[in-house]
Amino acid sequence: MSPQALQGIRVLELGQLIAGPFAGKTLGDFGADVIKIEPPVTGDPLRKWRLCRNGTSVWWEVQSRNKRSVVLDLRTEEGQAAVRQLAAEADVLIENFKPGTMESWGLGWDVLHALNPRLIMLRLSGYGQTGPYASKPGFGILGEAMGGLRHLTGEPGRVPVRTGVSIGDSIAALHGVIGVLLALYHRDARGGTGQMIDVALYESVFNLMESLLPEYDAFGVVRERAGSALPGIAPSNAYRCADESYVLIGGNGDSIFKRLMHAIERPDMAQEAELTHNDGRARHSARIDAAIEAWTSTRPLATVLQVLDAAHVPAGKIYTAADIASDPQYLSREMIVSSTDRHGQPLKVPGIMPKMSATPGAIRQPAPQLGEHTDEVMGQSGWPGASC
55 lies in the same domain as 153: yes
Domain residues for the domain of 351 are: 10-208+327-378
Claim to verify: residue 81 and residue 145 sit in the same structural domain = yes
User: Whose CA is closest to 42, among 60, 24, 26?
Assistant: 60
Among 317, 336, 361, which residue terminates a domain? 317
Say what the pLDDT of residue 380 is: 66
How many structural domains compose the chain?
A: 2
For residue 220, is it within any domain? no
Per-residue confidence (pLDDT) for residue 1, from 0 to 100: 63
Query: Do 111 and 260 have their domain in common?
Result: no
- Specify whether 34 is located in the same domain as 159: yes
Q: Do 123 and 182 fall within a single domain? A: yes
Domain containing 25 — which CATH number?
3.40.50.10540
> Which residues in 39-78 belong to E strands, given as ranges?
52-53, 56-57, 67-71
Q: What is the pTM of this model?
A: 0.93
Q: Is residue 386, in this structure, part of any structural domain at all? A: no
Name 319's Cβ contacts closer than 8 Å, sequence gap at least 6.
327
- How far lies 62's CA from each of 47, 50, 58, 173, 368, in Å? 11, 13, 7, 15, 11
Position 161 in a domain: yes
CB 234 within 8 A of CB 252: yes
Query: Are 66 and 142 within one domain?
Result: yes
Among 317, 349, 366, residue at a domain's last position: 317
CA atoms within 13 A on the CB side of 231: 15
Quick one: 287 and 184 in the same domain? no
Where helices occur in the chain by DSSP H, the ranges are 19-29, 58-63, 77-87, 101-104, 109-115, 140-146, 149-152, 167-189, 201-206, 212-219, 254-263, 267-270, 278-283, 285-296, 301-310, 321-326, 328-332, 374-378
Catalytic residue positions, numbered = 169
pLDDT attached to residue 379: 81
Residues 294 and 339 reside in one and the same domain = no
pLDDT of residue 255: 97
- The pLDDT assigned to 383 comes to 54
pLDDT value for 386: 37
In a domain, residue 229? The reply is no
Q: Encode the chain (388 residues) as per-residue pLDDT tens digits.
A: 678 999 999 999 998 999 999 999 999 999 999 999 999 999 999 999 999 998 999 999 999 999 999 999 999 999 999 999 999 999 999 999 999 999 999 999 999 999 999 999 999 999 999 999 999 998 899 999 999 999 999 999 999 998 999 999 999 999 999 999 999 999 999 999 999 999 999 999 999 999 999 999 999 999 999 999 988 999 999 999 999 999 999 999 999 999 999 999 999 999 999 999 999 999 999 999 999 999 999 999 999 999 999 999 999 999 999 999 999 999 999 999 999 888 888 999 999 999 999 999 999 999 999 999 999 999 864 555 433 3
Domain at 270, CATH number: 3.30.1540.10
Residues 303 and 336 reside in one and the same domain: no
Give Cα 301 distance to the centre of its chain: 30
Identify whether residues 371 and 298 lie together within a single domain: no
Cα angle 336-341-47, degrees, rounded to a multiple of 5 = 100
